[in-house]
């Protein structure tokens, strides 16, 4: 191994650290190798714990995108659809007369057994 190369690399790293130390825009972070490894593992586990729905959404986007479909346009059109206007009654609903409903249901309940018995 070339120790001169490592020494030069160490000197460059120290020089870079000294230059960035005076800059207030960059936060100074000190981590050892174990902390860096743990942070990397946490990041990796967060990216691997997607739900099956998220995974399916990504796969669907890739498939549709590879076929030349504009996914963002399709998403916007789907979001603009409103089920409220689709399922509105064609005629306005009148107020319900509960007493009349109960009388009608009572008559039906009396007539049905009679009709069934006569058949």
Please tell me the pTM assigned to this model.
0.27
d(CA 18, CA 49): 39
Express each pLDDT in 3-52 by its tens digit: 677 888 888 888 887 777 666 666 667 778 788 889 888 887 777 666 67
Name residue, tokens 């005076």: 22
Give me 104's structure tokens: 């009608």
Distances from the Cα of 25 to the Cαs of 17, 19, 20, 59, 110, in angstroms? Answer: 14, 12, 9, 39, 86
Express each pLDDT in 48-89 by its tens digit: 666 677 777 888 888 888 888 888 888 888 888 766 666 666
d(CA 72, CA 78): 10
- Phi first, then psi, for residue 13 (nearest 5°) are -65, -45
Q: CB of 69 within 8 A of CB of 60?
A: no
């Amino acid at each position: 191994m070339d120790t001169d190369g490592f020494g030069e690399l160490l000197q460059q790293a120290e020089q870079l650290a000294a230059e960035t130390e005076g800059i207030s825009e960059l936060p100074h972070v000190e981590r050892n190798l174990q902390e860096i490894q743990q942070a990397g593992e946490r990041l990796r586990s967060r990216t691997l714990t997607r739900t099956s729905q998220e995974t399916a959404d990504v796969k669907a986007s890739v498939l549709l995108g590879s076929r030349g479909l504009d996914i963002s346009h399709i998403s916007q059109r789907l979001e603009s659809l409103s089920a409220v206007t689709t399922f509105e009654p064609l005629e306005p609903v009148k107020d319900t007369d509960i007493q009349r409903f109960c009388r009608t249901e009572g008559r039906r309940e009396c007539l049905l057994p009679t009709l069934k018995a006569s058949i």
